Amino acid sequence: MAMPIGGMAGLTMQGTPSLRLPGEHFAAAICFLFLGALGLIWVAPDLAAGLYLSPHVAGVTHCFTLGWLSMTIFGAVYQLLPVALGVSISSERAGHFSFWTFAPGVALFASGVAFSSADLRYVGIGLITIAIICLLINVGLSLRRVVKRDVIWAAVMTGISFLTVTLLLGALLAQNMQVGFLGDARIRVLTTHLHVAMLGWVLVMIMGISHRLLPMFLLAHTAGTQWTKRALAFIAPGVVVLGCGLATNHHIAGVSISWVGLILVEAGIVCFLRQAWLFFKARKRPRLDAGLRHAATALIFLGCAATLAPIVMLNGMGARRLDTSYVLLGLLGGLSLYVVGQFYKVVPFLAWMARFHDDMGKKRVPTVAQLYSARIAHIDLLLFVLGIVGMFAGVLTAMPSVVRGAACLFAGGVVLFASQVIRVAFGTSFGVATPAPSTPPARALG
Ligand code: HEM
């Protein structure tokens, strides 16, 4: 289905899989986001005490990291490979298989970690491993066919390589939960695992996908695009050096490797933020919609987490509440909120294509923007921001009631957001006026 319409229409084209494949990933991701939000309320006292080593916290963390972030990225990759790299996914059936092993795998693994059940953990990791291997082969075969190997190609290759390292380190940590063979090295391996996962896997994939999506969403095709390449050139080696430094605590000529890695990663984040800024600055429509406001806010949180990182490193691994609040800021404020913003752009468009595309020109159809309520989207953004800032402050000041109250606000944001996605997928349109049959397609997509 070729789409001759500009802007968002670039999200679908010949070779994109049926919407069922990304759709099932996005639906499961929302369920995990909801579970994670409830989990935050549950683990609030642990968070306030800086007990990030508690199994409860680790279980809840993976609802966000594997269930929400990784699941959404998988769905986005299936949808965007043809659009961004000009190749279709090698096997749609393998994509479904990967989904049906990954989703139960994450649920079993996260509950096995949270409730200290070794059996659930093992079955969960087994399923997750099968799903990730299947995805790696499927995406790897598609990437091999790409002719124009640009920065998006490099970002996806880098991201999936770091996902493999994440899985290996995660499996090591899970085995350690059973037999404790890592001893004192546990925290160092854990710190390496979470940085490789959050920066090397999630942030790099976000950078690659945003390189295509942000200019499309912002109608900012005149902006310079060289900063994503620079960001990747700093972050990819930076994560390797940082990971080695955190794992080994090694020094070369008196200089800590971790600091070298951190400086490289920070430089990469600055380049990524610069690229995003250029896209926002060059936008054709001055007024930002709700999705882009979520994304812009998340970029501010990402900048704050990056600013906090050197302070966290200076304090070493003993300042548990500072460490917890730093991960919370980066994971919920930077990465998770950014993905919520992208959801607000991508999912309504795909739902519109599935539900109304064939009716365009024949009967009245709503615009994409009318599929959800901008007012509710802005309220959920407010709840997310209050929740994240409140949890951050509550953890730093060791106040469990503040953390729990803020986690409730965050959960409120998730409920509103999820209700919007359900409405987009199944409900009627919002708004007073629906365009007449003669409305040009480009307006309906606006
Ligand atoms: C790919 C499969 C994964 C496995 C098997 C895995 C496994 C684990 C395990 C067992 C722990 C607990 C370690 C301990 O307390 O000793 C852990 C912690 C952690 N993991 Fe993963 N992980 C995976 C993926 C990810 C991803 C994709 C991310 C981030 C995007 C991530 C982020 C974290 C974080 C932030 C923690 C610390 C949680 C806490 O503070 O308690 N993990 N992981």
Tens digit of each residue's pLDDT, the chain (446 residues):
333 334 555 666 655 667 889 999 999 999 999 999 999 999 999 999 999 999 999 999 999 999 999 999 999 999 888 888 888 889 999 999 999 999 999 999 999 999 999 999 999 999 999 999 999 999 999 999 888 889 999 999 999 999 999 999 999 999 999 899 999 899 999 999 999 999 999 999 999 999 999 998 999 888 889 999 999 999 999 999 999 999 988 877 666 899 999 999 999 999 999 999 999 999 988 889 999 999 999 999 999 999 999 999 998 777 899 999 999 999 999 999 999 999 999 888 888 888 887 777 777 788 888 888 999 999 999 999 999 999 999 999 999 999 999 999 999 999 999 999 999 888 765 544 444 444 444 444 44
Q: Which residues contact 402 (CB under 8 A, 6 or more apart)?
A: 48, 390, 393, 394
- CATH number of the domain enclosing 420: 1.20.210.10
Mutate to test the pocket of ligand 1, among 193, 326, 395 (most ligand atoms within 8 A of CB): 193
Nearest-atom index, ligand 1, CA of 58 = 41
Nearest-atom index, ligand 1, CA of 132 = 1
Cα 174 to ligand 1 centre (Å): 9
Query: What residue owns the CA closest to ligand 1's atom 5?
Result: 170
pLDDT digits (tens, 9 = 90+) for 251-264: 776 668 999 999 99
For residue 1, being part of any structural domain is answered with no
Mutate to test the pocket of ligand 1, among 33, 43, 62, 167 (most ligand atoms within 8 A of CB): 62
For residue 383, being part of any structural domain is answered with yes
3-state secondary structure of 285: coil
What local confidence, expressed as pLDDT, does residue 258 receive? 93
**Of the candidates 284, 294, 222, which has an alpha carbon nearest to the alpha carbon of residue 442?**
284
What local confidence, expressed as pLDDT, does residue 325 receive? 97
* Residue 363: CB atoms within 10 Å: 10
Cα angle vertex 49, ends 202, 263, to 5°?
40
What local confidence, expressed as pLDDT, does residue 28 receive? 97
Q: How far apart are CA 200 and CA 189, in angstroms?
A: 15
**Of the candidates 109, 127, 246, which has an alpha carbon nearest to the alpha carbon of residue 185?**
246
* Helix%, strand%, coil% for the chain, nearest 5: 80, 0, 20
**Of the candidates 267, 385, 271, which has an alpha carbon nearest to the alpha carbon of residue 336?**
385
Cα 371 to ligand 1 centre (Å): 36
Cα 388 to ligand 1 centre (Å): 20
Strand partners, 255: 252
Q: H helices then E strands: how many in the chain?
A: 16, 2
What local confidence, expressed as pLDDT, does residue 9 receive? 56
For residue 43, being part of any structural domain is answered with yes
For residue 118, being part of any structural domain is answered with yes
For residue 135, being part of any structural domain is answered with yes
Nearest-atom index, ligand 1, CA of 176 = 16
Instruction: Report CA Rg, the chain.
Output: 21
E strand segments, 232-356:
251-252, 255-256
Q: Which residues contact 314 (CB under 8 A, 6 or more apart)?
A: none
Answer yes or no: is the C-beta of 58 below 6 A from any ligand 1 atom: yes
Q: How far apart are CA 300 and CA 384, in angstroms?
A: 13
Answer yes or no: is the C-beta of 50 below 6 A from any ligand 1 atom: no
Answer yes or no: is the C-beta of 128 below 6 A from any ligand 1 atom: yes
| Sign of CA pseudo-dihedral 53, 55, 58, 60 | negative
Nearest-atom index, ligand 1, CA of 190 = 13
Nearest-atom index, ligand 1, CA of 177 = 16
Query: What residue owns the CA closest to ligand 1's atom 10?
Result: 174
Q: How far apart are CA 325 and CA 111, in angstroms?
A: 23
Strand partners, 252: 255
252's enclosing H/E stretch is strand 251-252
Strand partners, 256: 251
45's enclosing H/E stretch is helix 20-48
Cα angle vertex 84, ends 92, 98, to 5°?
25
Mutate to test the pocket of ligand 1, among 177, 178, 194, 335 (most ligand atoms within 8 A of CB): 194
* Residue 178: CB atoms within 10 Å: 10
**Of the candidates 44, 2, 140, 55, which has an alpha carbon nearest to the alpha carbon of residue 402?**
44
Whether 384 and 410 have beta carbons less than 8 Å apart is answered as yes
For residue 423, being part of any structural domain is answered with yes
The answer to pTM > 0.85 is yes
Amino acid at 292: L
Please list the alpha-helical segments (H only) found in 115-225: 118-144, 151-179, 185-195, 204-218
What is the total residue count of the chain? 446
Phi-psi label, residue 399: left if phi above 0, alpha if psi -120 to 50, beta otherwise: beta
| Count of domains observed in the chain | 1
**Of the candidates 312, 313, 330, which has an alpha carbon nearest to the alpha carbon of residue 321?**
312
Cα 198 to ligand 1 centre (Å): 10
- Look up the domain containing 170 and give its range: 7-445
Cα 355 to ligand 1 centre (Å): 38
For residue 2, being part of any structural domain is answered with no
For residue 172, being part of any structural domain is answered with yes
